[in-house]
Amino acid sequence: MSRPRMNLKYLRHLSHLFAARRRALPSPAAPGTPLAEVRGLHVRLGQREVLAGVGLVARAGEVLALVGPNGAGKSTLLATLAADLPPGQGEVRIDGRPAHEWSAPELALRRAVLPQAAALAFPFPVEEVVRMGRAPWAGTPLEDEDESAVAAAMAATEVTAFAGRPFSALSGGERARVALARVLAQRAPLLLLDEPTAALDLRHQELVLRICRERAAAGDAVVVVLHDLGLAAAHADRVAVLHDGEVAAEGPPAEVFRDGLLSRVYRQPVEVFPHPRTGVPLVMPKRDPQTEQERTERDLLTNT
């Protein structure tokens, strides 16, 4: 019986940390307003320059997808946009101000971040994990929305049915959805999501990207790291293709996703063609038909 009391005490302490400071509340942004921006961004991790001179803008009312091969700098760029990782050179602006000018509580009102993996030291029930997203609003007029925000986020991500289960007892996909629900409950106007679909099945991948579209339609800016180029093409307003620490191309998916560019960036021949019904670009690895020699070798192996 002591564990639930400890969890409740922790949550109250978390809310107190945010409530104890004065905070400037975010104002609604007009569509197209930059809510996050990097200029001339350089980031080094160890001896490696991960980002080299990157410039990028996340605007209200849009879904921006960051795509590219492993090691291209997508997660590093997302962390820098969130002001969680300081740049070596360049400027990061959030909601019109240099990121370093915001206090941590004020940043928490303006951007919500979903990391690649969610880990908790204690076995909090799912509902308490989602409720943690409301901590930044403690002591503000919008604190009264806590219950409705938590309920809406859990319903949107389809986790209401296991609200009382310990987070540690969930599957990987269930944990990913609960972590997203926490971010949605935060109701920040800038959502920064790092591979939110990686652990999800087909249905929930589409669910998450539909949520991204709904948040953008409501006026938020959504930046999402994706490996699935099909999802990016179907749901993003803009894509930024990262390659060797730089933005190789940026724009609407139909303009950016080209055979030559993607084949070069991913070092894998691909072909891009329009979906027969929607016209959305489909990206597939180029697979040559088997040669006569390969078929002969296969038949010999089968018959021995």
Q: pLDDT (tens digit, 0 to 9) for every residue of the chain, 304 residues total?
A: 344 444 555 555 555 555 545 678 898 999 999 999 999 999 999 889 999 999 999 999 999 999 999 999 999 999 999 999 999 999 999 999 999 999 999 999 999 999 988 777 678 999 999 999 999 999 999 999 999 999 999 999 999 999 999 999 999 999 999 999 999 999 999 999 999 999 999 999 999 999 999 999 999 999 999 999 999 999 999 999 999 999 999 999 999 999 999 999 999 999 999 999 999 999 999 887 765 566 666 666 666 5
245: closest CA among 40, 39, 50, 47? 50
Structural domains of the chain, with CATH: 2-20+29-303 (3.40.50.300)
For residue 192, the Cα-to-chain-centroid distance in whole angstroms is: 4
Q: CA dihedral in degrees (145, 150, 151, 156; nearest 10)?
A: 120
Is the alpha carbon torsion for 115, 159, 26, 209 positive or negative? positive
**Total Cβ atoms within 10 A of residue 91:** 14
SS3 label, residue 213: helix
Half-sphere exposure of 273 (CA within 13 A, CB side): 8
55: enclosing H helix or E strand: strand 48-59
